């Protein structure tokens, strides 16, 4: 594939011989498709350069914009050489203004498109016929996506209208670690209505979307089913009648249990023993089908955890429009366990490793854009199959050229 020469100047100008070449399939080029909402006078620094520098600093372990500014300042001679940039590098306010004026969802889409294409090319090469065949094959293998919300705690407690609190709802590919889309909950809506806005045919078709009990809503499930997707939801007391129906059904000693299917998993480690058991049934389908579109199975999940001398048990119920031929009891159990990756591998790592909740960038729109970049950093780490993100960040800090190539070249493993 031909390379395009990077120049921060107009396209006709020539840069230094040492300047880095930018691949058309790189994240840098993808950022060129993010709309820059700044006024003409405020565009002294190209938006793709700003987003790339932010991700570069984050890959090197800096968790704040101030830290990134200082990290770049200490390496400005090296960066000028590689990026063909003759001016000073941006200040904190420049980044904040640019982040506030761009579309965070477009950043999410740009990062996801690069990673999804890199994954497809890795499996099929660049031959169009093989890529098309792979696309049809992917439609048969359902992709698991988890949906959940997260509050950016650093945005709480500010009274200014220009510094609103931010709560994001995201769709997260559990296997690849890619955030497919995110949406901020607006002032006059809640997470339920924001989640409904994420249901789009392009994001739903051929995917299994798992949620917690909050999103066990008839309208949401009906939309997912209508768009040829599959829902997998937990039922708690926010749906009191359905919850009681499921409790009565699975605890009925006279139930025809020969139709039920079951699966069990045992996990040991660090002095902790966790046993999960799931029972599924199709006997309640007719009972629920008038209100819950496409319902194909209901299930009961029991979690037993022994941690040292402490023991606890939790029983939850759920439903799905996945038929048994697409998801037996073992598959349902695996999907339920994989759903928590959105908490453990996305939300928790954004908070603990990337310091998202401590971030004090408050200008309207900027926290969402930074969250999109944080998700991109973690998706890149998962692409590289990094076992320890913090350790890899220290490596990138010591070898920043590797991180820069990751952002400016075609993704390769």
Could you read off the pLDDT of 333-348 as tens digits, one per residue?
A: 999 999 999 999 999 9
CB 25 within 8 A of CB 118: yes
CB 150 within 8 A of CB 167: yes
Average pLDDT over residues 197-213: 94
CB atoms within 10 A of CB 23: 20
* Sequence-separated (6 or more) residues with CB below 8 Å from residue 220: 192, 195, 196, 199, 231
- In this model, does residue 16 exceed pLDDT 50? no
pLDDT in tens, 218-255: 999 999 999 999 999 999 999 999 999 999 999 999 88
Q: Could you tell me the strand order of the sheet in which 261-269 lies?
A: 179-184, 166-173, 143-152, 207-210, 230-235, 310-320, 297-307, 272-281, 261-269
Average pLDDT over residues 388-392: 96
- In this model, does residue 375 exceed pLDDT 70? yes
HSE (side-chain half, CA atoms, 13 Å) at 64: 12
Percent of the chain with pLDDT over 90: 74
pLDDT in tens, 176-188: 999 999 999 987 7
pLDDT in tens, 84-107: 888 899 999 999 999 999 999 999
pLDDT for 134? 52
pLDDT for 41? 78
Tell me which of 39-48, 70-79, 160-169 is least confident. Answer: 160-169
Most confident of 15-24, 31-40, 130-139, 159-168: 31-40
- In this model, does residue 136 exceed pLDDT 60? no
Q: Tokens representing 36? A: 């820059």
- In this model, does residue 282 exceed pLDDT 80? yes
Q: Tokens representing 33? A: 């498709």
- Is the backbone of residue 84 left (phi > 0), alpha (psi -120 to 50) or beta? left
Q: DSSP code of 36?
A: B
Tell me which of 25-29, 40-44, 128-132, 407-411 is least confident. Answer: 128-132
What is d(CA 11, CA 16) in angstroms, rounded to the nearest whole number?
A: 14
What is d(CA 50, CA 226) in angstroms, rounded to the nearest whole number?
A: 40
- In this model, does residue 138 exceed pLDDT 60? no
pLDDT for 180? 96
pLDDT in tens, 261-274: 999 999 988 888 99
pLDDT for 209? 98
| Mean pLDDT score across all residues of the chain | 90
What is d(CA 36, CA 101) in angstroms, rounded to the nearest whole number?
A: 7
């Amino acid at each position: 594939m031909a390379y395009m020469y990077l120049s921060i100047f107009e396209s006709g100008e020539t840069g230094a011989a040492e300047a880095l070449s930018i691949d058309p399939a790189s994240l840098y080029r993808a950022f060129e498709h993010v709309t820059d909402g700044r006024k003409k006078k405020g565009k002294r620094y190209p938006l793709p350069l700003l987003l790339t520098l932010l991700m570069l600093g984050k890959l090197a372990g800096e968790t704040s914009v101030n830290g990134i500014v200082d990290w770049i300042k200490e390496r400005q001679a090296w960066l000028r050489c590689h990026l063909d940039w003759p001016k000073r590098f941006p200040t904190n306010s420049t980044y904040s203004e640019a982040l506030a004026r761009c579309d965070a969802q477009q950043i999410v889409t740009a990062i996801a498109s690069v990673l999804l294409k890199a994954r497809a090319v890795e499996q099929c090469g660049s031959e169009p016929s093989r890529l098309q065949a792979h696309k049809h094959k992917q439609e048969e293998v359902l992709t698991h996506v988890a949906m959940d919300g997260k509050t950016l705690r650093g945005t709480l407690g500010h009274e200014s209208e220009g510094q609103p609190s931010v709560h994001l709802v995201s769709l997260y590919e559990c296997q690849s670690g890619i955030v497919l889309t995110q949406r901020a909950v607006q002032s006059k809506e809640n997470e339920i209505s924001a989640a409904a806005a994420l249901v789009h045919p392009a994001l739903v078709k051929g995917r299994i979307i798992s949620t917690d009990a909050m999103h066990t809503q008839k309208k949401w499930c009906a939309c997912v089913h209508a768009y040829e997707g599959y829902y997998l939801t937990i039922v708690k007391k926010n749906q009191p009648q359905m919850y009681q129906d499921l409790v009565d059904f699975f605890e009925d000693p006279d139930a025809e249990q020969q139709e039920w299917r079951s699966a069990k998993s045992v996990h040991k480690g660090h002095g902790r023993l966790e046993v999960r058991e799931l029972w599924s049934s199709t006997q309640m389908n007719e009972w629920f089908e008038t209100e819950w579109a496409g319902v194909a199975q209901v299930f009961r999940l029991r979690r037993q955890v022994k941690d040292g001398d402490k023991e606890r048990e939790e029983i939850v119920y759920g439903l799905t429009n996945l038929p048994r031929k697409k998801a037996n009891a073992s598959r349902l159990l695996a999907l339920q366990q994989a759903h928590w990756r959105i908490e453990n591998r996305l939300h928790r790592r954004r908070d603990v490793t990337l310091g998202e909740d401590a971030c004090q960038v408050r200008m309207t729109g900027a926290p969402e854009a930074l969250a999109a970049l944080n998700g991109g950093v973690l998706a890149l780490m998962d692409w590289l199959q990094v076992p320890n993100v913090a350790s890899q960040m220290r490596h990138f800090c010591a070898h920043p050229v590797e991180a820069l190539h990751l952002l400016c070249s075609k993704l390769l493993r």
